[in-house]
Amino acid sequence: MQWLINFIAAGAVSLIEIIVKKFGIFVSVNVLIKSVVALYIAFLIAAAAFITSYILRIWNAFKDLFTQVTSMPSIGGTWGGISNSQIVSSSFAFLHESGLADAFITAGDLFIGLLSVYFVIQLYKLYKAITGNIVKIINDLLLLMTR
């Protein structure tokens, strides 16, 4: 694997040398900065799309599980001489009459909201780390240009 990394790095350095010889250092650094920024923007768009897709998958799984739990035809059997569908229907009636159903719905929305905030914070940490590296690369390129 190390030989592949060395090969790619040598190719990149050779390409930079060719560009510098042909166009000069100022144009070369500008091209490198613009390409790094373009790749950075493309990465941010791809990362945001991936994280949004992941959050939507979690939300869909949560909805599917909730509909499976609350579907009456899937409940069969008896417990203590009372059918399970009767127990579940009485439980849901109690939840609705006591107001706990609204509380559970609000708690589910709060859970999804907090999960979304967590992923946004992780995305921000990733953004800061990548931005720090990009700024470091651009500063190094500008330092090379001024020498």
pLDDT per position as a tens digit, 99-132: 887 888 888 888 888 888 888 888 788 878 877 8
pLDDT score at 70: 63
Count other Cβ atoms within 10 Å, centred on residue 54.
Answer: 11
pLDDT score at 101: 79
Question: What's the total number of domains in the chain?
Answer: 1
SS3 content of the chain, % helix, strand, coil (to 5): 90, 5, 10
pLDDT score at 146: 67
With bands split at pLDDT 50, 70 and 90, how would you rate the model's confidence at 145? Answer: low
Give the domain extent around 16.
2-146
Count other Cβ atoms within 10 Å, centred on residue 28.
Answer: 20
Contact 93, 18 (CB under 8 A): no
Share of the chain above pLDDT 70, in %: 88
CA R_g for the chain: 28
Q: What integer best gives the mean pLDDT of the chain?
A: 78
Distance, in Å, from the CA atom of 10 to the CA atom of 60, rounded to the nearest integer, reads: 46
Which one-letter DSSP state was computed for residue 72? S
Q: What is the pLDDT of residues 13-66, one digit of tens each?
A: 787 778 778 888 778 777 877 887 888 888 888 888 888 888 888 878 877 777
Contact 41, 135 (CB under 8 A): no
pLDDT score at 75: 62
Asked if the model's pLDDT at residue 72 lies above 70, the reply is no
